[in-house]
Amino acid sequence: MTQQWKLTLFVLFFLPLLLRLGFWQLERAEEKRQLWIVYQEQKRLPAVPLDIDQKQTVTHYQTVIVEGHYDRQRYWLLDNQPRNGQVGYEVIMPLQVGKQWLLVNRGWVAAPARRDQLPVLKTPEGKVTLQGYLHQPSQNAVLKQLESDLLVDWPKRVLQINHFAAQSVLKADVYPTQLRIKDDSPGALITQWPVMSTQPEKHQGYAVQWFTMALVLFLLYGWVLLFRTESKTLENNREK
């Protein structure tokens, strides 16, 4: 196989790949824009009571009101959640609502200086009325407990969790979306939730980078072909 064919195969493989990555980032940017629109629309609507026993249809970011009892003994500390340069956790605590459980994200708490220590939390007793918005964590998220915490009782320090993982641990039905409570709800910690982890503009910037690399690859390939064509022409003229 000649060098030109190797170069052609290289370009045929990587050029579509770079273009696809660029368009994928544009798709992600559009998804984030639509997500922001939904968030703004739901933010203007009044809160509605959440009846999780009726399996009602809810909208992402919908503001709801719910009553229940915190499980003050069993909860998860979502690890690797830095804020403003400080390490900490997000606290995911089950709330018993009727016959089911609802995972409540109470907010962020700073981590102690030592890794073998866990933050001490104050949790309201009795029935509480919470208000917040529904948040759907990644469906690909599973319960990923840190190896160093496998033998530790509650609370459990984890990397990810969703309702499937919570059901397997709690041995009970768990509502499929989490509740991110407002800062004036009982048991709220530091909330100030980021609506999205990556802004649309950042995805657009990534898209520009991929498209730029595709353009550079195409131009370099064209320059190499032109250079070799001119070289062959000069050689043929010399032979004549």
CB-side neighbour CA atoms (13 Å) of 110: 6
Cα–Cα distance measured from residue 70 to residue 67, given in angstroms and rounded to the nearest whole number: 10
Assessment of whether the complete model's pTM goes beyond 0.75? no
Report pLDDT digits (tens) over 148-176.
444 457 888 888 887 788 888 888 888 88
What whole-number percentage of the chain has pLDDT above 70? Answer: 83
List the chain domain ranges.
Answer: 1-44+198-230, 47-181
Cα–Cα distance measured from residue 115 to residue 219, given in angstroms and rounded to the nearest whole number: 52
Distances in whole angstroms, Cα of residue 105 to Cα of each of 93, 135, 162, 234, 239: 6, 9, 11, 72, 79
Report pLDDT digits (tens) over 38-78.
778 777 778 888 877 665 566 677 888 999 999 998 999 99
